[in-house]
Amino acid sequence: MDLFTITAILVFLSAFFGYINVRFLKMPNTIGLMFITILFTLAVFALSYVDPTLLNAERYILSQIDFKTVLLDVMLSFLLFAGAMHTDFEQLKKHRWPILSFSTLGVITSTFLVGTLVYYLLILLGMNVPYIQCLLFGALISPTDPIAVLGILKQAGVPKKLETKIVGESLFNDGVGVVVFLTLFEIASPSEETLTAWSVIELFGVEVLGGLALGLLLGWITYRLMRTIDDYDIEVIITLATVMTGTVIAHKLHVSAPLAMVVAGLLIGNDRLRESAMSESTIIYVDKFWELIDILLNTLLFVLLGMEILVLTYTPDYLIAGLIAIPVVLGCRYVSLLLPINFFKKKLEFVPRTDLIMTWGGLRGAISIALALGLTEAMNRDLFLLITYVVVVFSIIVQGLTVGRLVKKVAG
């Protein structure tokens, strides 16, 4: 089965499941697609006791797709650029300091809180896992997923000023979270080179600051190019080239591609800059193009996410650890938000119970799964992958379906 056939099957399943959701279930698309795909995969499991053909086909498709590489090295750049382009830049600028603190201090605090609690939780369950590996889990599960957040908050009725904080945080803490994970991964990996505190700081700094600088440069070059012409066809292609070329450059320079794409997208989507660089027709075509890219990739991503249930290793202890990890992750997020929220709420207008809404509305998603898939066998990959999947499924389906009701109850 070649790549085109596999892609065609995934697009067909995405269209079919999407139709079922819109026609009958009427859930937000990201939730509905993942829910239906999980049900479909479980049905295939059950059918395999009679005829394993479908199960073998689904497993073959997954074996041909490196989910971690497809998401982190390809899809993520497109999705973050599209999300950043449609984010209110002025609101983001107004709330830049709380967003910055949520996406840096919040992620790092949550990483160590989750890692420490999970370390002791696993000991209670009779599993002696090295502390550094638990910190790796903390790093991959702490960032909220902009892909899940952007799709669900639009339909949840979250107040605009709060939506800006949650979306802005998710756009940036994703990049920071990936860098924290990669830094801890280097520490956890056996190496002949001795890692010093300075080398860790340098690795973190180069990834983050380099990604931000590259994003500014890409955004500025794209703006200058689009300002000198008026042809919406070419200008759409220029934005596409920015994302694809920028991602390749980021990987070559070993800087954060996610952060670079967020910054570039925010610059190009900034109302004041785009109005001076694009005609009205170009703005419409650029927006529609990236909306379509966003919808298509989101659809494929959540179908793949639902199918990933096939790669998990199920044991009672792993499942129990996953279920207990749900309140642990939520509790640690709540604690990690307290300091920034209390510090900034006097200076900026916060809606009632921002801490509770941001905790429940901070969804985990595909990025956490992709990072967990990147763990090695020596890092207890099967254990942490199942725990991550349990937390992500709960986050997207349960939290995603109820965040709207929570907002109406506490902030309405």
- Residue 293, pLDDT > 80, answer yes
| Domain chopping of the chain, boundaries | 67-411
User: pLDDT by residue (tens digit) across 238-248?
Assistant: 999 999 999 99
Name the DSSP letter for residue 28: -
pLDDT at 151: 66
**Where in 279-357 does DSSP place strands (E)?**
none
pLDDT value at 191 more than 80: no
The model's pTM is 0.92
Q: Specify the pLDDT at position 1.
A: 77
Q: Is 127 exposed, middle or buried (0-12, 13-18, 19+ CB in 10 A)?
A: middle
CATH architecture assigned to 67-411:
Up-down Bundle (1.20)
Contact of 219 with 267, CB cutoff 8 Å: yes
> Which of the four pLDDT bands, split at 50, 70 and 90, describes residue 152?
confident
Which of 145-149, 254-258, 262-266, 374-378 is the least confident region? 145-149
pLDDT band at residue 157 under the 50/70/90 scheme: low
Mean pLDDT of 114-142: 96
More confident call, 135 vs 361: 135
pLDDT for 383 equals 97
pLDDT tops 90 at residue 148: no
Residue 154: pLDDT band (50, 70, 90) is: low
Residue 158 binned pLDDT confidence (cut-offs 50, 70, 90): confident
Alpha helices in 142-279 (DSSP H): 146-153, 160-188, 197-227, 232-253, 257-269, 271-277
Kindly state the percentage of the chain with pLDDT values over 70: 96
pLDDT at 183: 87
Band of residue 109 on the pLDDT scale cut at 50, 70, 90? very high
Percentage of residues of the chain with pLDDT beyond 90: 65
Q: pLDDT tens digits, residue range 65-90? A: 999 999 998 899 999 999 899 888 88
The answer to whether residue 192 scores a pLDDT higher than 60 is no
* Model confidence at 36: pLDDT above 80: yes
pLDDT at residue 103 greater than cutoff 80:
yes
Q: What is the pLDDT of residue 218?
A: 97
Q: Which residue has the higher pLDDT, 148 or 176?
A: 176
At residue 41, does pLDDT exceed 60? yes
Q: What is the mean pLDDT of residues 43-62?
A: 93
Q: What is the pLDDT of residue 411?
A: 67
Express each pLDDT in 11-23 by its tens digit.
Answer: 999 999 999 999 9
Other Cβ atoms less than 10 A from the Cβ of 277: the count is: 21
Q: Characterize 299-327 residue by residue with b for buried, 16 or more Cβ atoms within 10 angstroms of its Cβ, and e for exposed.
A: bbbbbbbbbbbebeeeeeebeebbebbbe
**Exposure pattern of 48-70 as b/e (b: 16+ CB <10 Å)?**
eeeeeeebeebbebbeebebbeb
Mean pLDDT of the chain: 90
